Amino acid sequence: MSDPVGKLPSELDQLPDRDTEETAEWAASLDAVAKAAGTRRAEYLLRRTLQHAEAAGLALPKLLETDYVNTIPTSAEPEFPGDEEMEARITAWNRWNAAAMVTRGSKYGVGGHIATFASAAWLYETGFQHFFRGKEADGSGDQLYIQGHASPGIYARAFLDGRISEQQLDNFRQESGGDGLPSYPHPRRLPWLWEFPTVSMGLGPLSAIYQARFNRYLQNRNIKDTANSHVWAFLGDGEMDEPESTAALALASRERLDNLTFVINCNLQRLDGPVRANFRVVQELEAQFRGAGWNVIKTLWGSAWDELFQLDTTGALVRRLREVPDAQFQTYATRDVAYIRQHFFGANAELTALGGLLSDAKISECFHTSRGGHEPRKVYAAYKAALEHKGAPTVILAQTVKGYTLGAGFESKNANHQMKKLTIDEFKGMRDLLGLPIPDSAFADGTVPYGHPGADSPEVRYLNERRAALGGPAPARKVHPVALPAPADRSFAPLLKGSGKQEMATTMAFVRLVKDLMRDKETGKRWVPIVPDEARTFGMESLFPSAGIYSPLGQTYEPVDRDQLMYYKEAKDGQILNEGITEAGAMADFIAACTSYATHGEPMIPFYIFYSMFGWQRTADQMWQLADQLGKGFIVGATAGRTTLTGEGLQHADGHSHLIASTNPASLNYDPAFAYEIAVIVKDGLRRMYGEPTPGEDSDVFYYLTVYNEPKVQPAMPEGVEEGIIKGLYRFNQASDLEGAPAADAPKIQLMASGTAIHWILEAQKLLAADWNVAADVWSATSWGELRRDALECDEALLRGEVRTPYVTRALEGAAGPVLAVSDWMRQVPDQISQWVEQDYTSLGTDGFGLSDTREGARRHFGVDAPSIVVAALAQLARRGEVPASAVKEARERYGL
């Protein structure tokens, strides 16, 4: 058999053929089928053969796409265990109240979304009735990532089971009065109901994968039995365009996370129109997930389609479904039967003949409403198959109609995501369709009523019985307070006493501290080091052999550095999460660990250490998600600052992360200068987040510390500075402490700095004294952000008639002369406190883009090195008339500025 003209070589050409005659016979058989029965029959046989080979476990590449039909045929559906009629009534009430809540709220202009839950109602209700395990079950229950725009349906269900009142429904999106409901899943706003914030699209699927992975981490480290916990993530097909949605698919399959199911509501519409107007999003998603190693279940067509597929003896229907683009199928859902006969069945003679066998009613049912995602039996079959599949995560692609049951004005309309209300007549039509016992008189005042069958009704009893059998209400967030004992003081002692004559970067100081804390008998196992492939950069390789890098497979190879002391050790019970080059993945890991105290009743102490600006700048949206989810832990920005990374340049030189971090209310931001400051901050953070917070102190916070890679001698901690370190400012030394101190009547100035800039002002302090007879005191500003937070709270108290003086004002009270603040950050960072400093205040910083240079060169470029600080200080004093104006010019010339 000759090769076709232009045939490209393949990998098969490189393999020896042990039996060329047999190979030729197979090829000839395929040719014979194509000739006798047509190419379509040949294609069909090949596809079935490949499917059979896959099912038999033969080592062949998987088919990336299957036909546009249900994965589970009707004949293979398991028996449905519930009362379908009862569950339909429950779902009808929830549909009604979800729509009523949003419509009633529209008169206040607060908006809301109706169409998403309308399309996905059965996807949720089937899960709530038969699958989703509550917090009162053994273990930790299931973790539910609810699609943000579907929140009205979840509130409606909580109203039906008695957890939410009618008044709360009426306060949807009106939270300021204290009795309202947040727009979307926001744990910080409704902490007894919502576990996971999901409306920032793409973060839900990413977080769900890492949550499922963290569940296994806890299991493999023998911290919590999570074997029965399943993670369910409900997503929109449009949401899958977010890069975060698919960023970790390979991780999920690589680690065989069969405790994870994605349910993608494929209503073929995003916010403005079709998800894939000219293409087929279901097929695209199937190929993407199958290629990543996931188990894919397509639940596309309702039972009304069974008759059509049985009549399709030639495969014409299946081929036509495979070629019609999504936008056209959306049009079919809104047009009459005549249009469908012409444009769908009229495509060829085979389809025309098939269409002639169908009644108008059947065609209307199939194309207008009959979707797999709207039938509980088909959804149940998909969910059951997902739970039973082992060795890989599952994605369920469920096709629905957006706006289903809301009437012709909503269903499949491009604008339905922005439509916030139904008319009274539309509600009456919906009532009749759903069969709800709501009389016309209930609309007499022109307002749509809420509906409830009664607390002792068969519907509510059934709902509560099902939830009791599954372990209690869902969704629900339940916190089991577990105060961890404080680590022994000996872990902090080395940093408090300083480094002697040895130089040590603050990055290394932090790593050493955590390494000692991980040895603590009580809390050591609860530390979760998280790093995105920069552990060696931060000096963390010493943790590899002692703590181990987590891998569910253990170590299946002999590492190349096995004979070295700090070899690369992976272990099933490894403690370190080394994520590879994915800050988004590391943050998702961090969030799962930060909230384990609530999700699993097991407080963990994660620290996520990242390189330069690639934390806040790259993943600030996830930092906000972390705050919403009430996470606790330590974020460490290593190799911090704009001038400490020698030679790295513009996209590495971080001068703005503290400014971004200051926008997050839950983030406590510190820029420590010395190792002992790190020890004090971490110790206080452990107390506040995991121990006993002081009265009125919020424990649902996380700490952001910036540490530097510049080796310096670390001094011992002076006496009595602990409060200042935590509050954000203390005097490190005074000019009078210097050898060769200026005269008592010398001009005075206060030099203030954070982080590595403390060393610049210490040098400037000496130059000012020796060269200019200026007395400068040095202050360490450990947290510009905490100083500002305290000052803002004082301003708010003043509005209530309570007079309080900000800490920064009190700390600087009586300090002579002006204040010059310096940092390795943009000037906006230290300028956060300027309005509460009573002295004259100015600042120096590293505004603009970073650049590649030596540390000295970069600091001279930005004007923050010691000579530049001296000139700036003299300029301040000259403006006050305390030094001659000529001194400024003389200093510039002396220092070559």
Query: Residue 473 has which token pair?
Result: 């209400």
Q: Amino acid identity, residue 30?
A: L
Judged against a pLDDT cut of 70, whether residue 15 lies above it is answered with: no
Task: Determine the average pLDDT of the residues in 107-113.
Answer: 82
Judged against a pLDDT cut of 70, whether residue 417 lies above it is answered with: no
Q: How high is the pLDDT of residue 59?
A: 67
State the first-to-last Cα distance of the chain, in angstroms, to the nearest integer.
Answer: 82
- Going from the C-alpha of 895 to that of each of 282, 525, 770, 774, 865, the distances in angstroms are 68, 53, 14, 17, 11
Q: What percent of the chain clears pLDDT 70, i.e. is strictly above it? A: 97
59 C-beta neighbours (distance < 10 Å), count? 6
Q: What would the pLDDT profile of 438-492 be if each residue is shown by its tens digit?
A: 999 999 988 999 999 999 999 999 999 999 999 999 999 999 877 899 999 999 9
Edge-to-edge strand ranges of the sheet holding 748-753: 730-733, 775-780, 748-753, 819-822, 841-844
Q: What would the pLDDT profile of 498-528 be if each residue is shown by its tens digit?
A: 999 999 999 999 999 999 999 999 999 999 9
Name the pLDDT band for 35 (thresholds 50, 70, 90): confident
Of 16-25, 340-349, 789-798, minimum mean pLDDT range: 16-25
Distance (Å, whole) CA 324 – CA 329: 7
Name the pLDDT band for 6 (thresholds 50, 70, 90): very low
Distance (Å, whole) CA 44 – CA 312: 14
Of 130-139, 294-303, 655-664, 676-685, minimum mean pLDDT range: 130-139
Cβ pair 345, 355 in contact under 8 A? yes
Q: Helix and strand tally (H, E) in the chain?
A: 34, 20
Q: What would the pLDDT profile of 264-312 be if each residue is shown by its tens digit?
A: 999 998 878 899 999 999 999 999 999 999 999 999 999 999 999 999 9
User: Which of residues 283 and 17 earns the better pLDDT score?
Assistant: 283
Strand partners, 668: 703
Name the pLDDT band for 236 (thresholds 50, 70, 90): very high
312's CB contacts (< 8 A; 6+ apart) are: 318, 354
Of 29-43, 46-60, 127-141, 647-661, minimum mean pLDDT range: 46-60
Cβ pair 856, 867 in contact under 8 A? no
Q: How high is the pLDDT of residue 5?
A: 43
Tell me what the pLDDT averaged over the chain comes to: 93
Q: How high is the pLDDT of residue 234?
A: 98
Distance (Å, whole) CA 74 – CA 300: 12
Beta strand 712-713 pairing with 503-504: antiparallel
Task: Determine the average pLDDT of the residues in 209-219.
Answer: 98
Cβ pair 653, 612 in contact under 8 A? yes
Name the pLDDT band for 730 (thresholds 50, 70, 90): very high
Helix axes 151-160 and 115-130, enclosed angle (nearest 10):
50
Q: How high is the pLDDT of residue 51?
A: 75
Helix axes 757-772 and 866-879, enclosed angle (nearest 10):
60
Q: What percent of the chain clears pLDDT 90, i.e. is strictly above it? A: 82
Region label for 293, one of left (φ > 0), alpha (ψ between -120 and 50) or beta (otherwise): left
* Exposure letters 763-787 (e unless 16+ CB within 10 A, then b): ebbbbbbebbebbbbbbbbbbbbbb
Q: How high is the pLDDT of residue 4?
A: 43
Q: What would the pLDDT profile of 346-375 be if each residue is shown by its tens digit?
A: 999 999 999 999 999 999 999 999 999 999
Q: What would the pLDDT profile of 130-172 be if each residue is shown by its tens digit?
A: 999 999 988 899 999 999 999 999 999 999 999 999 999 999 9
Judged against a pLDDT cut of 50, whether residue 698 lies above it is answered with: yes
Strand partners, 301: 371
Long-range contacts of 21-27, Cβ-Cβ distance < 8 Å, separation of 24 or more: 27/1
Distance (Å, whole) CA 685 – CA 632: 9
Task: Determine the average pLDDT of the residues in 366-388.
Answer: 97
Distance (Å, whole) CA 94 – CA 89: 9
Judged against a pLDDT cut of 80, whether residue 409 lies above it is answered with: no
Name the pLDDT band for 534 (thresholds 50, 70, 90): confident
Beta strand 775-780 pairing with 730-733: antiparallel
Alpha helices in 135-175 (DSSP H): 151-160, 166-170
| Burial of residue 352, with CB atoms counted within 10 A of its CB: 0-12 exposed, 13-18 middle, 19 or more buried | middle
Q: How many residues appear in the chain?
A: 897
Q: What would the pLDDT profile of 590-612 be if each residue is shown by its tens digit?
A: 999 999 999 999 999 999 999 98
Distance (Å, whole) CA 823 – CA 165: 52
Task: Determine the average pLDDT of the residues in 334-348.
Answer: 95
Cβ pair 678, 501 in contact under 8 A? no
